[in-house]
Amino acid sequence: MTTSNAPRIAVIGCGYWGANHVRTLGEMGLLHAVSDVNIDRAEMLAQPFGARACLPDDVFADADIDAVVLALPAHVHAQFALRAIADGKHVFVEKPLALSSADGAHVVDEAATAGLVLMTGHILCFHNAFTALRDRVAAGDLGEVRYLQSHRLGFGKFHARFDALWDLAPHDLSMIMTLAGGEPESVRGVHRGVSIGTTDLAHVHLDFAAGTGAHIHVSRHSPYRERRFTVIGSEGMAVWDDLADWPQKLALYRHRIDPKGTNWDFELSDPDYVPLEANMALTDELAHFAECIRTGETPRTDGRQGVAVLRILEQAGA
């Protein structure tokens, strides 16, 4: 976005993911400032893009900054978001929006009162495979959606403060609610610690008003990696395998079941791979944020969805 009314954005937080935001916004021509308590780190990341390096207090005080991206430890997301809103800045918050639904709802209310854009960073909703899957579902290609299933498994990223459910499930919950059209009516969670005393693996079962069901399995204690998102409809099924190469990331199946008296005939089909153009989901996500600031459009992954994710996590982890 290079028009004269493009927002001037600051990134607060220069860890691994914050550095990705800095690089992406810099390449898009939207980066105005880079901020961290480690000013040397901020200067190193800001320098290639000619952006200003500063401490967080300076970001909030700078009237030339229109919006902030918060890529901080999750326990300070709500605090920093509220301060940015109080200073009249639009806010993009990496997931999770807060560590409680009450805190998240407070951020949403303050942004709405101030008339500011609040977006939650659920990046997988901007992956081209999910966009194509969402469009197929909306067009009725799979018929009535009956069940949604997501597996996000691997080994590692152990945090004493942050368990596997809160670390791994938010993206999947965001995608499921996008396709199901809202929040679930009921949530049931099963979780277990394996190594360090917090949840290392979890199963979450969701039921929606329209009759759609969903299941999420997350684990940071799996000996193998799996990143699969499945939609089961009345007229077909779709599987997004994010570990597959782009030509085979999204597959459609036309398996059929036909009742014949007391027997049920079924027919298996070969996968029909959906042509996809490779995309940088973070670039598209941040472009959407900038466009929402420019137009006043509600983000696809707005603060209300961020709070809905928090409510489900609280119920699943209880």
Residue type, 234: S
Say if 95 falls within a structural domain.
yes
Separation CA 66–CA 158 (nearest Å): 35
Structure confidence at residue 5 (pLDDT): 83
Q: Which domain holds residue 263?
A: 128-278
Confidence at residue 225, expressed as pLDDT on a 0 to 100 scale: 96
In whole angstroms, give the CA distance from residue 67 to residue 290: 9
Q: Specify the pLDDT at position 1.
A: 37
CATH, residue 78: 3.40.50.720
Q: For residue 264, what pLDDT is reported?
A: 67
Distance CA 128, CA 242 (A): 11
Does residue 264 sit in the same domain as residue 137?
Answer: yes
The CATH number for 224's domain is 3.30.360.10
Indicate whether 3 belongs to any domain: no
Q: CB-based contacts of 4: which residues, under 8 Å, 6+ apart? A: none
Residue type, 16: Y
| Residue-level pLDDT at 94 | 97
The per-residue pLDDT for 3 is 46
Mean pLDDT by 10 residues, the chain (318 residues): 74 96 98 97 97 96 97 95 98 96 98 98 97 96 96 86 89 97 96 86 96 96 96 94 97 78 68 95 98 97 97 93
pTM equals 0.93
- On whether both 217 and 165 belong to a single domain, the answer is yes
pLDDT of residue 198: 84
Q: Which one-letter amino acid corresponds to residue 180?
A: A
CA 189 – CA 313 distance, rounded (Å): 9
Q: Is residue 25 part of a domain?
A: yes
* 266 Cβ neighbours under 8 A, 6+ residues apart: 255, 256, 257, 258
Domain contains 47 = yes
- 95 shares its domain with 139: no
The amino acid at 121: G
The Cα–Cα gap between 205 and 217 comes to: 9
Q: Check whether residue 258 and residue 293 sit in a common domain.
A: no
pLDDT of residue 2: 39
Same domain, 40 and 114: yes
Task: Please state, in angstroms and rounded to a whole number, the distance separating the CA atoms of residues 230 and 62.
Answer: 45
Contact 164, 190 (CB under 8 A): no
Answer whether 70's CB lies under 8 Å from 81's CB.
Answer: yes
Instruction: Please give the C-alpha separations between residue 212 and each of 129, 186, 216, in angstroms, as whole numbers.
Output: 21, 11, 14
